[in-house]
């Protein structure tokens, strides 16, 4: 019975770079424990030799999905049927990230031109954006799932709907709304150094922006758990 | 004869298929290996954009070997813009790559562990890999800004030098890591040699190709000796040719092997061939790379400039960046003119190896096929980002390059 209690996790690689899986493995101090005792990796050709997609408690999906690649579409549809929870793992799966700039025309498959976040095609339960997400947030999300701590996961559940990301979200959704406090979290969070603070407000270098969305996700003014705020303030 | 298909091949990066024709005893008579990973078209994405965009995008070709792609990209653009990178900048770039070699080879040991490591040693082996990676990636993080997709390797050099305190700390950290790496390399080589793989497995007669023992040297890559053909003119099976997602690069008209064994053959007189030799070369290279990283940290001047001033408008010169990635020679080519990338092409390690890997399975039982494939540490996201030259005629290729 103890054996069966371990959550069954699958890793599915679509059009991504495997950087998110690499980040997961950068949980150096707990990786051996995680892989041997805490979870069962039941699917994922990067990690294990299992070809038949089984039923899974959680599917971590890395990469956006190419509409011109039939194999990817079938795999995505199948994993939605087999997984209780589907997680858009990393920004390519969550927001499309830089594959939003794809426009095809490259050999040996020039027809591959449309890459979209997986939520455009299937229902997604939670998203962990980042290019890649940090090892820490991946570990914390997995542990929260192990403990069924849905309160901790709430921001990630809400992010499943954030699929059109860009550095300019800071301007349109934060500064333009009078919400920016000039804290600089966005610039600290940016993984390509596309953001600076100018006059206390974010300044975007769009030549370096990859549309991963992490600046807006990390902005303390971008997530409003309204019910919780009302409850805590007695409103 | 029977046909064995492994799709996708496992414990490697990306999606690929191995198709083997076998005789009555199960011996492979013909092996073909090809990528089926969708083509995101990164070369086309960066065309028309600012030079600064290229390294940011193309490092995302692959999250397993992003460092070589970043370096090859900035080197190609440096060359196109005729930039002379200051010495300290060059050293920091090489330090980033040396640390990455140690990290990436350790990752490969994690992926091949089920083939060689007995169950009772598995947790120890994973911990050994993790301990080495933790320290190697710490160096990449500190020097290059981000461990997986480095933000601070820039056109003209590096974004910043490291501080004197950081240099001393990194030096001490890597010195302390040395006995651990030595022990790990000995363990892995012992387990691989004791596995009893058949003698001669994976041996082929194709030439090796490498430009430098560790870093890469654009002057050792001769564009005139390079050609590329489409899958249709390489694979004799039309169905495979249609589905294959990468083109076939040739050097002197022949498919080659690149990677750790190729580097040791070219620069250290290494003579061994085949699967075991590839694993041994990869393990030994961890020691060479670590020694070089320590040497650089010893000689680095932390008060010296690390980035050159440059004019990013460009003259349309075809720049070449040649970097020895963990999996082999990674060549990026870029032309900058009017402040935009006009042409971009990436000729990446696994693409070189793909046409060599399939035939290397031949002559042994098909159950050994995956062993042969994994000895190359294939990385398929990379291999889908190759240049277009839809012709077998070399002169046409050169003309097209010049014209572009």
Domain residue limits, chain A:
3-161, 169-233
Of the partner residues A22, A102, A107, the one whose CB lies closest to the CB of residue B388: A107
How much is the average pLDDT of A222-226? 85
Chain B residues touching A102 at Cβ < 8 A: 40-41, 44-45
A59 — pLDDT class (breaks 50, 70, 90): very high
Chain B residues touching A43 at Cβ < 8 A: none
**Binary contact (A207, B49; C-beta < 8 A):** yes
Task: Identify the pLDDT of residue B378.
Answer: 76
Determine which helix (DSSP H) or strand (DSSP E) holds B287, and give its type and residue range: helix B275-299
Task: Identify the pLDDT of residue A165.
Answer: 95
Instruction: Going residue by residue through chain B, which has 404 residues, state the pLDDT in tens, using 9 for 90 and above.
Output: 677 777 666 666 666 677 888 888 888 888 777 666 677 888 899 999 999 999 999 999 888 889 999 999 999 999 999 999 999 999 999 999 999 999 999 988 988 888 899 988 888 888 899 999 999 999 999 999 999 999 999 999 999 999 999 999 999 999 999 999 999 999 999 999 999 999 999 999 999 999 999 999 999 999 889 888 877 777 777 777 666 666 788 999 999 999 999 999 999 999 999 999 999 999 999 999 999 999 999 999 999 999 999 999 999 999 999 999 999 999 999 999 999 999 998 888 888 898 898 889 899 988 888 888 889 887 765 554 333 333 333 322 322 222 22
Chain A residues touching B41 at Cβ < 8 A: 102-106, 110, 112-113
**Binary contact (B39, A49; C-beta < 8 A):** no
Whether A79 has a pLDDT exceeding 90, the answer reads yes
A105 — pLDDT class (breaks 50, 70, 90): confident
**Binary contact (B52, A208; C-beta < 8 A):** yes
Task: Identify the pLDDT of residue B32.
Answer: 76
Tell me the two tokens of residue A92. Answer: 């390519």
B320 touches chain A (CB under 8 A): no
Percentage of chain B modeled with pLDDT above 70: 89
Poorest-pLDDT segment among A29-33, A66-70, B129-133, B173-177: A29-33
The nearest alpha carbon in chain A to B246 belongs to A108
Radius of gyration of chain B measured on its C-alpha atoms: 21
What class is the A169-233 domain? alpha beta
Of the partner residues B50, B147, B230, the one whose CB lies closest to the CB of residue A108: B230
* Mean pLDDT score across all residues of chain A: 90
Neighbours of A148 (CB within 10 A): 10
Distance CA B122, CA B110 (A): 10
Q: Which of residues 131-190 of B touch A (CB under 8 A)?
A: 131, 133-134, 137, 145-149, 151-152, 159
Per DSSP, the residues of B236-271 read S-HHHHHH--S-EEEETTB--B-SHHHHHHHHH---
Alpha helices in chain A (DSSP H): 19-25, 31-33, 70-82, 91-95, 135-146, 150-158, 169, 185-189, 214-218, 226-233
**Binary contact (B14, A13; C-beta < 8 A):** yes
Is the distance from CB of A224 to CB of A233 less than 8 angstroms?
A: no
Of the partner residues A25, A72, A205, the one whose CB lies closest to the CB of residue B38: A72
**Binary contact (A108, B148; C-beta < 8 A):** no
Phi-psi region for residue A100, left (φ > 0), alpha (ψ -120 to 50) or beta? alpha
**Binary contact (A192, B149; C-beta < 8 A):** yes
The string of pLDDT tens digits covering residues A116-130 is: 999 999 999 999 999
Establish, for the pair of chains A and B, how many residue pairs have beta carbons separated by less than 8 Å: 171
Task: Identify the pLDDT of residue B157.
Answer: 98
The nearest alpha carbon in chain B to A206 belongs to B53
Task: Identify the pLDDT of residue B11.
Answer: 61
The nearest alpha carbon in chain A to B6 belongs to A51
Which residues partner with A9 through β-bridges? A41, A58
Task: Give the residue, B179 or A146, on which the prediction is more confident.
Answer: B179
Determine which helix (DSSP H) or strand (DSSP E) holds A41, and give its type and residue range: strand A40-43
**Binary contact (A106, B43; C-beta < 8 A):** yes
B316 touches chain A (CB under 8 A): no
B39 touches chain A (CB under 8 A): yes
A35 — pLDDT class (breaks 50, 70, 90): confident
Neighbours of A81 (CB within 10 A): 9
Report how many domains make up chain B: 1
Where do we find the tokens 């570990």?
Answer: A139
**Binary contact (A112, B62; C-beta < 8 A):** no
Q: What are phi and psi of B217, to 5 degrees?
A: -145, 115
Task: Identify the pLDDT of residue A198.
Answer: 96
Instruction: Tell me the nearest-neighbour CA distance from B18 into chain A, angstroms.
Output: 14
How much is the average pLDDT of A156-172? 94
Residues A3-161: name the CATH superfamily.
NADH:ubiquinone oxidoreductase-like, 20kDa subunit (3.40.50.700)
Task: Identify the pLDDT of residue B2.
Answer: 78
The string of pLDDT tens digits covering residues B164-209 is: 999 999 999 999 999 999 999 999 999 999 999 999 999 999 999 9
Task: Identify the pLDDT of residue B394.
Answer: 31
**Binary contact (A19, B10; C-beta < 8 A):** no
As a dihedral over the C-alpha atoms of residue A126, residue A128, residue A129, residue A132, rounded to 10 degrees, the angle is -150
Residue-number span of the structural domain to which B293 is assigned: 2-403
- For residue B261, the domain's CATH number is 1.10.645.10
Chain A residues touching B36 at Cβ < 8 A: 71
Most confident of A12-16, A207-211, B355-359: A207-211
Of the partner residues A45, A101, A112, the one whose CB lies closest to the CB of residue B38: A112
Instruction: Tell me the nearest-neighbour CA distance from B169 into chain A, angstroms.
Output: 20
Task: Identify the pLDDT of residue B41.
Answer: 83
């Amino acid at each position: 019975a103890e054996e069966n209690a371990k959550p069954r996790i699958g890793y599915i690689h679509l059009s991504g770079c495997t950087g998110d899986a690499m980040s997961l493995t950068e949980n150096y101090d707990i990786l051996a424990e995680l892989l041997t005792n805490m979870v069962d990796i039941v699917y994922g050709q990067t990690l294990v030799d299992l070809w038949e997609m089984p039923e899974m408690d959680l599917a971590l999906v890395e990469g956006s999905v190419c509409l011109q690649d039939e194999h990817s579409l079938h795999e995505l549809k199948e994993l939605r049927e087999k997984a209780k929870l589907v997680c858009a793992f990393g920004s390519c799966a969550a927001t499309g990230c830089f594959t939003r700039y794809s426009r095809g025309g490259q050999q040996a498959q020039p027809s591959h031109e449309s890459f979209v976040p997986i939520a455009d095609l299937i229902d997604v339960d939670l998203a962990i954006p980042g290019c890649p997400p940090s090892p820490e947030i991946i570990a914390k999300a997995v542990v929260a799932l192990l403990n069924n701590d849905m309160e901790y996961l709430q921001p990630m559940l809400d992010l499943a709907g954030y699929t059109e990301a860009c550095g300019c979200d800071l301007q349109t959704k934060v500064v333009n709304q009078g919400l920016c406090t000039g804290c600089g979290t966005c610039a600290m969070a940016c993984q390509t150094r596309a953001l600076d603070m100018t006059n206390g407000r974010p300044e975007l270098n769009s030549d370096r922006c990859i549309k991963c969305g992490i600046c807006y996700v990390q902005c303390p003014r971008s997530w409003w758990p309204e019910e919780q705020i009302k409850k805590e303030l007695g409103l | 004869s029977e046909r064995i298909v492994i799709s996708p091949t496992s414990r490697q990066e990306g999606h690929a298929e191995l198709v083997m024709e076998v005789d009555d005893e199960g011996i492979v008579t013909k092996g073909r290996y090809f990528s089926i990973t969708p083509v995101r078209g990164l070369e086309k994405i960066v065309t028309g954009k600012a030079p600064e965009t290229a390294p940011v995008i193309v490092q995302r070709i692959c999250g397993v070997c992003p460092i070589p792609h970043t370096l090859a990209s900035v080197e190609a653009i440096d060359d196109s813009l005729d930039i002379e990178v200051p010495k300290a900048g060059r050293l920091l770039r090489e330090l980033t790559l040396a640390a990455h070699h140690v990290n990436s080879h350790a990752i490969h040991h994690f992926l091949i562990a089920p083939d060689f490591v007995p169950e009772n040693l598995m947790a120890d082996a994973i911990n050994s890999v993790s301990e080495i990676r933790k320290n190697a990636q710490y160096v990449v993080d500190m020097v290059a800004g981000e461990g997986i997709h480095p933000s601070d390797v820039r056109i003209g050099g590096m974004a910043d030098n490291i501080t004197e305190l950081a240099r001393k700390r990194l030096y001490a950290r890597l010195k302390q890591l040395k006995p651990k790496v030595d022990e790990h390399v000995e363990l892995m080589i012992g387990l691989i040699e004791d596995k009893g793989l058949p003698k001669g497995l994976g041996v082929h007669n194709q030439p090796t190709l490498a430009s430098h023992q560790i870093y890469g040297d654009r002057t050792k890559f001769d564009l005139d000796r390079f050609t590329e053909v489409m899958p249709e003119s390489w694979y004799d099976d039309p169905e495979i040719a249609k589905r294959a997602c990468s083109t076939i690069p040739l050097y002197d008209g022949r498919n080659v092997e690149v990677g750790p064994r190729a580097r040791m053959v070219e620069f250290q007189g290494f003579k061994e061939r085949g699967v075991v030799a590839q694993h041994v070369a990869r393990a030994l290279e961890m020691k060479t790379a670590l020694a070089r990283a320590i040497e650089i940290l010893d000689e680095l001047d932390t008060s010296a400039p690390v980035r050159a001033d440059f004019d990013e408008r460009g003259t349309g010169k075809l720049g070449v960046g040649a970097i020895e990635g963990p999996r082999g020679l990674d060549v990026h080519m870029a032309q900058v003119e009017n402040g935009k990338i006009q042409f971009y092409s990436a000729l990446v390690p696994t693409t070189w190896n793909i046409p060599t890997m399939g035939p290397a399975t031949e002559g042994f039982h098909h159950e050994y096929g995956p062993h042969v494939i994994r000895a190359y540490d294939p990385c398929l996201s990379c291999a889908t980002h190759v240049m277009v030259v839809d012709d077998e005629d070399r002169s046409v290729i050169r003309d097209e390059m010049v014209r572009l």
